[in-house]
Structure 1
């Protein structure tokens, strides 16, 4: 088990929620710098200003803490509740998907140094750990199901139609490439991506939206002709 039931911590302060949040934030930064394999609970607790027993108390150990960091990172990109509210709200599915692409692409392409959120997710996607199933089942698959519904509706086909999965891959891939790619290396090939100007970020997001929606429109037309 990754998560264990916490034991009572002697001398525990009453601001437990604050301490837990500080540990999570410190862990996120350290995992982003070093990766899961080289991080230690002692180092995380020291950076959080807590004692070494706190990691075990609040998270059942460093494995449980890392799983929580992954889940929190994914939630900071986009929460499930916000995604569902968007999908179930008024408007056409194509407009909802455009908004969704803008939200996620905006987080990934934000100018300036990337936060630990992006770096932790990038490390995990490139080299999945034993905690990946937690991220997969708690965040990725539930959100995928919602987005699948939007794409299927745009295409006018059932959610299990083969074209839906292919279109999902095409929509996600450009954003995933920027998430897992080294920004400095990417910028050497595509210098415009390194521009800190807000209009440059807006142009990239609009490009992702335009290509994704045009591809969906073309696929829907092809399915209709079939």
Structure 2
């Protein structure tokens, strides 16, 4: 008679998922504070209220854990599913791009700017780790295709046209600078930048939207002139 495989009770599965999530959350905080090179599995496990073996059990080691944290951090900035829903939803490309810029800008300059997710991404941009290729393949490239698709629709070009790529760079660059930049340095060099209040933050969001759309419209006009 074949031996039956023991079944894990729903309660145990739930406990395992909870422990895994707690480890990831604790790791996010440690990696944000110390970076990948100085973080240890022991400290992460202690913060999560678990033991060091749990890091290996759930993530295969600290390298796998850091990769998972990095991917989760990018998802907290912007999920692929929400991005696709926006791109495939109602409205024109201009409105979609405005919405996208607004979502990203509010996350980066709003209260979430102090979260471990954005600080981990900031560290990774400044000093890429061995996990960076996984982030690129799993999160950045799929999302980039959606964004360049929206931009290409506005310009009447393919998503991989060099003009679209340059425009994408112009749109992304300010957010990358805000993500990795020190706010105190920014305010000393550009004292007019003030993200302290909700009204000032919203004014900055609207500026990013206006500036990006105006640049794309100017590019579209130039393309039409070149084709005549």
Q: What is the rounded CA distance, in whole Å, between the counterparts of 1:79 and 1:13 in structure 2?
A: 26
Q: Which has the larger radius of gyration?
A: 2
The residue number in structure 1 matching 2:74 is 74
Q: Is the 8 A contact 2:107 2:113 kept in 1?
A: no
Q: What is the rounded CA distance, in whole Å, between the counterparts of 2:81 and 2:154 in structure 1?
A: 21
The residue number in structure 2 matching 1:144 is 144
Distance apart, 1:192 and its partner CA: 4.1
Q: What is the rounded CA distance, in whole Å, between the counterparts of 1:14 and 1:110 in structure 2?
A: 33
Q: Is the 8 A contact 2:194 2:201 kept in 1?
A: no
* Greater helix proportion: 2
Structure 1 moving runs of 4+ over 3 Å? 191-195
Q: What is the rounded CA distance, in whole Å, between the counterparts of 1:33 and 1:192 in structure 2?
A: 29
Deviations for 1:12-57, whole angstroms, at most 9, x for unmatched residues? 8860111111100100000000000000000000000001100000
Distance apart, 1:196 and its partner CA: 1.8
Q: What is the rounded CA distance, in whole Å, between the counterparts of 1:192 and 1:140 in structure 2?
A: 32
After the TM superposition, which of the residue ranges 182-191 and 169-178 deviates more from structure 2? 182-191
- TM (norm. structure 2) is 0.91
Q: What is the rounded CA distance, in whole Å, between the counterparts of 2:41 and 2:216 in structure 1?
A: 46
Q: What is the rounded CA distance, in whole Å, between the counterparts of 2:204 and 2:21 in structure 1?
A: 33
Select the structure with the greater relative contact order (CA < 8 A; seq sep ≥ 6).
1
Q: What is the rounded CA distance, in whole Å, between the counterparts of 2:100 and 2:21 in structure 1?
A: 27
Q: Is the 8 A contact 1:111 1:195 kept in 2?
A: no
Q: What is the rounded CA distance, in whole Å, between the counterparts of 1:126 and 1:211 in structure 2?
A: 26
SS of the residue corresponding to residue 128 of structure 1 reads coil
The residue number in structure 2 matching 1:4 is none
Distance apart, 1:191 and its partner CA: 3.2
The residue number in structure 2 matching 1:5 is none
- Is 1:64 the counterpart of 2:58? The answer is no
The residue number in structure 1 matching 2:17 is 17
Q: Is the 8 A contact 1:23 1:48 kept in 2?
A: yes
Aligned-CA RMSD value: 1.4
Distance apart, 1:195 and its partner CA: 3.8
After the TM superposition, which of the residue ranges 24-33 and 151-160 deviates more from structure 2? 151-160
Distance apart, 1:189 and its partner CA: 1.9
Distance apart, 1:190 and its partner CA: 2.5
Matches within 5 A, 1:1-16: 15-16=15-16
After the TM superposition, which of the residue ranges 40-49 and 186-195 deviates more from structure 2? 186-195
Matches within 5 A, 1:89-108: 89-108=89-108
Distance apart, 1:117 and its partner CA: 0.8
SS of the residue corresponding to residue 36 of structure 1 reads helix
SS of the residue corresponding to residue 196 of structure 2 reads coil
Distance apart, 1:160 and its partner CA: 2.3
Q: What is the rounded CA distance, in whole Å, between the counterparts of 1:192 and 1:108 in structure 2?
A: 18
**Structure 2 residue runs without a partner (length 5+):** 1-11
**Structure 1 residue runs without a partner (length 5+):** 1-11
